[in-house]
Structure 1
Amino acid sequence: MLKITLKDGAVREVEEGKSILEFVKEVSNSLAKKVLAAKVDGETKDLTTVLTKDCQVDFLTFEDADGRWALRHTASHILAQAVKRLYKDQNVKLAIGPAIDNGFYYDIDMDKQLGEADLKDIEKEMKKIVKENLKLERKEVSRADALKMFEEMGESYKVELINDLPEDALITLYTQGEFTDLCAGPHVVSTGKVKALKLQSVAGAYWRGSEKNKMLQRIYGTAFEKQTDLDEYLHMLEEAAKRDHRKLGKELDLFSLHEEGPGFPFFHPNGMVVRNELINYWREVHRRYGYQEIKTPMIMNRKLWETSGHWDHYKENMYFTKIDDEDYAVKPMNCPGGMLVYKSHQHSYRDLPLRLGELGIVHRHELSGALHGLFRVRNFTQDDAHLFITPNQIEEEIQHTIDLFDEVYSTFGLTYTAELSTRPEDSMGSDEIWESATEALRNALEHRGLKYVINEGDGAFYGPKIDFHLRDSIGRTWQCGTIQLDMLMPEKFDLTYVGEDGEKHRPVMLHRVVYGSIERFIGILIENYAGAFPTWLAPVQVRILPITEKHADYAYELKKKMFDLGLRVEVDDRNEKVGYKIRESQVKKTPYTLVVGDQEVADKTAAVRKRGVQESTTMKIDDFIAYVQEKIASKSEEF
């Protein structure tokens, strides 16, 4: 009997030669219905895999990334099979068809140019294949046999892929019904497991990503276990399209992007209001949490970047210049400047923790194809802070920082999940330092009771980190905040403090950002709120509409009163019907629209219409102002 260790540490016995599927049925019939694949000693395998030795087996469902991957990989094979069935006279040749983060694709070479109507036909055929519930059978053959098979099939792209493999390689094939594909797997046990699928688009893609090769047709799709989950995902995509921050940024006149500065956003007056309100809030919160603000230069000498390690580990992302025949770099990060500020004074243990915050503009070289609105730019403002602490303050300071994060994110109605990112391949420092730093972060998370996942190898080159992934109003996640523990930079910059014993000691440093970048956070908020900012952030908080020209004086009187009290207010006195102006105010997502006519002038009131509400409420002006001021002061998301 084999001893199989499960994920929870339990050990079960099973007869040698049984498949994983047979084993999971022995563990739990209900679990067997959900399991899509399994990890055997860390390697993802099909459920048909035979157990031959003692090992650890982790069952994978659709909740697991590798489980989703297996199901969507099978969906890509179903897509290829459907195309082969439908277009037998179109000289179809298959290239590659992997699973991807949110679905799958298959690259296909064929005579017919596919359109939307064709995708519907292919999807219909795919659903037939799902109903057929065809088993996926894995087989290993010699390289020579595989070449012969795919040459006879006329699959020239598969032949090219096989030719790139070693001559003694065993080639893995998967067969479902009449369809056989070259594939390493893994897959789910049958096509019937892919219960909900949708083809989304077709685009061009060069074979093997090279423009020297032929342009193929890439069909994109997605797949889920349940139709309800697919429907929710498609609804989220529709909502995301409506909320696209690039589209809303233009409609609401917040920012623009120009070919004269690709990746360098231009903020308009409305966008500057949002930006400055975020900065004002950042300063107010950080003052309460004991931070001091600094500002460091944008361009500094090469020697600084060599000391920090950026010259060796981050050079390809940096911009450079020469001053007086010496090499200088435009800063991609604020931390080295923060080191010099710390080093400008001798510090005592009584000064620590020392929390230095900086709204620093940084520049990083991004490939033009990667640029995306405010989400991926080449210059941005990091809401950075560098905390200098003693070793025994590490956990307390991490908890203090997470308290700050909790307050900020809850203000915007955002929840988060945490991720512990560990040592990358291109890193500085000893194994002991990395292990100590990683353990300190892990302890802080566990003592707080905060659930987290491990992201192997995604730490900064100078230290491990905790990343905070925010969940927005339609369920998407965004990586924003981070806390990075750094024991290396203080060493490289020879930072010290005088301890209680009168001797010099090395401080530990925390790097952290809350927004991540002001620009990207604005993009996230635009999409989270669909452009309808809460009152405290709205570029125009109140729009006053006089019904006729004779009511304009009263409208401007109200504007002055509100403006003097700090409200952002505009008057729309155009010679247009009031209904038209109300609709336009709603389109511009103004929180409060005030209509004033004869009655309002006489009573010193206004007909108040809240954003998204059809009915108006008559209010005394002083009452309305007090109401709006309370909403602004509390940063309420409600109206």
Structure 2
Amino acid sequence: MSEENLYTFENEAYRKTYWHTCSHVMAQAVKRLYPQVKLAIGPSIDSGWYYDFDADFSFTQEHLDAIEAEMKKICKEKLPLVRSEKPRAEAVAYMESLGEPYKVELINDLPEDAVISFYTQGEFTDLCAGPHLDSTGRIKANAFKLTQCCGAYWRGDSKRKMLQRIYGIAFPKKEELDEYLQKQEEARRRDHNKLGRELEYFTTVDVIGQGLPILLPKGARVIQTLQRWVEDEEEKRGYLLTKTPLLAKRELYKISGHWDHYLDGMFVLGDPHDETKECFALRPMTCPFQYQVYLNRARSYRDLPMRLGETSTLFRNEDSGEMHGLIRVRQFTISEGHIVLRPDQLEEEFKHCLDLAKYCLGTVGLLEDCTFRFSQWDPANPNNKYEGTAEQWNEAQEIMGRILDDLGVKYTVGFDEAAFYGPKLDIQYKNVFGKEDTLVTIQIDMLLAERFGMEYTDQNGQKVRPYIIHRTSLGCYERTLAYLIEKYAGALPLWMMPTQVRVLPITDRAHDYAQEIVDRLRDAGIRAESDYRSEKLGYKIREAQMQKIPYMLVVGDRDMENQTVSVRTRAGVDLGAMSVDDFRAKCRAEIDTKARD
């Protein structure tokens, strides 16, 4: 990077240093206004910063406005930030004297040889490794904003105290802040957690539980449409359909390794530690179940590759603080599949898996915004997260790296992001607020076949272990639906929409004709309905547009006489009159080609 860009927001290190300094300014403002509040942590993040506080009151918008005003004063005071270091005992005593128990805990948890540093600005001193700007005056007083306050468990542990987290954002220029806030407003408008509920795609109910959404008829229809399409596409590509149980005895998970590596993320029915009693667990993934299909009888090299696919319902005990609409849930449905293959088939089958994923994501319109992450292991293997030898891991990662390079896939490396049994390609997607999650994975597994005793007879009559690819086609359907709602602001492409056409009769005389049109459209596989309410036509058109229905067919006396329909789109475009057959053919062409608006 050129010298002139070192101290601009183009430089990520400078940008995060700027935001980190803002977090300290915010903490200083809070302590000035509310001295009794205790400080926790305040890092920079990908989109600004946050600071966690322990307060005996709830921060409201009025509090945030007051904190912002005090921050502006601190910026105008141009306080220098001065770094200092203290021995452990002195550092603990100092924070105890300030009445900051969370800082004391952080100091005590530092390694013995850690340098314990502090930053002071005016009367305020905070435990921090830095770096920081040299003065609070570097922060533009009219170009930052405190954006929200929410709950956050201390150190992310649901068993610890719930703190209050205040988020903020800042830029070098007010115009950049205004542009960012405008984009955030658009993001809130598209947020599936708001829009999906307003459009009645899903809801949540307290007595059912967090992370357990109810798909309403519209949402259920979209997911059914996607599932049927993916299952049909997989069948075309040689996949065998399976249907396996939703739970199993702990013994199955012990064989697979999930009991040792994933127990905290599972819903267990019974005492997991009492070996004298039967214990079951809901499945967090389908692989150990689908392997039983392969193990049902002896296999030859001629049987491979065996491509097994299933629309799987899975259960994962996510932390309550991680729940978010349809994106992060505890029960979800996934287009899961496993390919059992010979080593010489690995490269070709991996390519096929990637091609299928790209086809599915491209068809629904998400691929253009996806990124690719090559998730690898940590050779240090902390907490025994990974199984297998270094040689096995290096071989698997070398093969995957070569495949990705041959395919020209542009990827980043996700260190320590691999599954416990092998490396994977994660296809990543960001929601409207910039939070990234995995949409699709393709994993190479050289280990679990041995755990399950899976083998085949090769050309020489020898028993050989197969390789396995774990993969998804479209990933989690609930998460995909969330991203689709956000991408299209609820106006999904015609082929996905739960209601594709609404017929609007102008008078009671046109009711029978409207029903005839609905029947003819439904016979062609088009999801159509009529609105017979005694409301004004303009009201019914606006309501249909608000519900994002792609086409409205207005029918009156002239249409009955001419056997036509007057076609309007949800975008407000009047397409004029056309015959029912012509409109039906137009819809079918859009649906069959899975066209996007």
TM-score, normalisation: structure 1: 0.82
Give the direction of change, closer, same or farther, for the CA distance of 1:396–1:523 in structure 2 (3 Å limit): same
| CA shift digits 1:481-525 (9 cap, x unpaired) | 001110111111122222233322211100001322222222222
Q: Which residue of 2 aligns with 1:184?
A: 129
Please state whether the residue corresponding to 1:347 is helix, strand or coil.
coil
Q: Which residue of 1 aligns with 2:376?
A: 422
Please state whether the residue corresponding to 2:475 is helix, strand or coil.
coil
Please state whether the residue corresponding to 2:418 is helix, strand or coil.
coil
Q: Which residue of 2 aligns with 1:174?
A: 119
Q: Which residue of 2 aligns with 1:488?
A: 447
Alignment partner of 1:254 is 2:201? yes
Q: Provide the rounded CA distance (Å) in 2 between the counterparts of 1:212 and 1:498.
A: 51
Please state whether the residue corresponding to 1:380 is helix, strand or coil.
strand
Residue of 467, 470, 474 corresponding to 1:515 = 474
1:186-585 pair list within 5 angstroms: 186-191=131-136, 194-195=139-140, 196-203=143-150, 218-224=165-171, 230-262=177-209, 263-321=211-269, 326-414=278-366, 415=368, 416-423=370-377, 425=382, 426-471=385-430, 477-585=436-544
Give the direction of change, closer, same or farther, for the CA distance of 1:382–1:170 in structure 2 (3 Å limit): closer
| Worse-superposed segment, 278-287 or 196-205 | 196-205
Q: Provide the rounded CA distance (Å) in 2 between the counterparts of 1:259 and 1:420.
A: 38
Q: Provide the rounded CA distance (Å) in 2 between the counterparts of 1:107 and 1:285.
A: 48
| CA shift digits 1:308-365 (9 cap, x unpaired) | 1122222222234479964333322110111111122333333322211111222222
Unaligned runs of 5+ in 1: 1-26, 37-60
| CA shift digits 1:590-619 (9 cap, x unpaired) | 100111112211221111110121545222
Give the direction of change, closer, same or farther, for the CA distance of 1:133–1:508 in structure 2 (3 Å limit): farther
Q: Provide the rounded CA distance (Å) in 2 between the counterparts of 1:406 and 1:214.
A: 43
Q: Provide the rounded CA distance (Å) in 2 between the counterparts of 1:541 and 1:475.
A: 30
Tell me the percent identity.
Answer: 45
Please state whether the residue corresponding to 2:337 is helix, strand or coil.
strand
Q: Provide the rounded CA distance (Å) in 2 between the counterparts of 1:357 and 1:294.
A: 6
| Worse-superposed segment, 248-257 or 267-276 | 248-257
Q: Is the 8 A contact 1:98 1:104 kept in 2?
A: yes
Give the direction of change, closer, same or farther, for the CA distance of 1:365–1:474 in structure 2 (3 Å limit): closer
Q: Which residue of 1 aligns with 2:50?
A: 105
Unaligned runs of 5+ in 2: none
Q: CA deviation at 1:585?
A: 0.8
Q: Provide the rounded CA distance (Å) in 1 between the counterparts of 2:69 and 2:214.
A: 46
Q: Provide the rounded CA distance (Å) in 2 between the counterparts of 1:212 and 1:621.
A: 62
The letter for the 2-side match of 1:410 is: G
Q: Which residue of 2 aligns with 1:74?
A: 21
Q: Is the 8 A contact 2:37 2:54 kept in 1?
A: yes
Q: CA deviation at 1:398?
A: 1.7
Q: Is the 8 A contact 1:256 1:265 kept in 2?
A: yes
Q: Is the 8 A contact 1:544 1:570 kept in 2?
A: yes
Q: CA deviation at 1:175?
A: 3.1
Q: CA deviation at 1:442?
A: 1.4
Give the direction of change, closer, same or farther, for the CA distance of 1:108–1:385 in structure 2 (3 Å limit): closer
| Worse-superposed segment, 143-152 or 485-494 | 143-152
Q: Provide the rounded CA distance (Å) in 1 between the counterparts of 2:106 and 2:496.
A: 58
Q: Is the 8 A contact 1:142 1:168 kept in 2?
A: no
Q: CA deviation at 1:159?
A: 7.2
Q: Provide the rounded CA distance (Å) in 1 between the counterparts of 2:155 and 2:434.
A: 33
Q: Provide the rounded CA distance (Å) in 1 between the counterparts of 2:99 and 2:268.
A: 48
Q: Is the 8 A contact 2:103 2:127 kept in 1?
A: no
| CA shift digits 1:181-210 (9 cap, x unpaired) | 321222245446555421113456687789
Residue of 108, 114, 126 corresponding to 2:71 = 126
| Worse-superposed segment, 294-303 or 567-576 | 294-303
Q: Provide the rounded CA distance (Å) in 2 between the counterparts of 1:566 and 1:330.
A: 37
Please state whether the residue corresponding to 2:499 is helix, strand or coil.
coil
Q: CA deviation at 1:400?
A: 1.7
Q: CA deviation at 1:254?
A: 2.6
The letter for the 2-side match of 1:332 is: P
Q: Provide the rounded CA distance (Å) in 2 between the counterparts of 1:337 and 1:103.
A: 44
Q: Provide the rounded CA distance (Å) in 2 between the counterparts of 1:466 and 1:211.
A: 30
Q: Provide the rounded CA distance (Å) in 2 between the counterparts of 1:128 and 1:230.
A: 19
The aligned length equals 582
Give the direction of change, closer, same or farther, for the CA distance of 1:132–1:397 in structure 2 (3 Å limit): farther
Give the direction of change, closer, same or farther, for the CA distance of 1:410–1:475 in structure 2 (3 Å limit): farther
Q: Which residue of 1 aligns with 2:7?
A: 33
Q: How well do the aligned residues superpose, as a CA RMSD in angstroms? A: 3.3
Q: Which has the higher contact order (CA 8 A, sep 6+)?
A: 2
Q: CA deviation at 1:277?
A: 0.7
The letter for the 1-side match of 2:399 is: A
Alignment partner of 1:140 is 2:89? no
| CA shift digits 1:176-235 (9 cap, x unpaired) | 456433212222454465554211134566877899999865432123456565445433
Give the direction of change, closer, same or farther, for the CA distance of 1:534–1:74 in structure 2 (3 Å limit): same
Give the direction of change, closer, same or farther, for the CA distance of 1:283–1:600 in structure 2 (3 Å limit): same
1:602-613 pair list within 5 angstroms: 602-613=561-572
The letter for the 1-side match of 2:130 is: G
Please state whether the residue corresponding to 1:345 is helix, strand or coil.
coil
Please state whether the residue corresponding to 2:6 is helix, strand or coil.
helix
The letter for the 1-side match of 2:400 is: L
Give the direction of change, closer, same or farther, for the CA distance of 1:136–1:445 in structure 2 (3 Å limit): farther
The letter for the 1-side match of 2:377 is: R
| CA shift digits 1:447-479 (9 cap, x unpaired) | 222111111111111111110013567866442
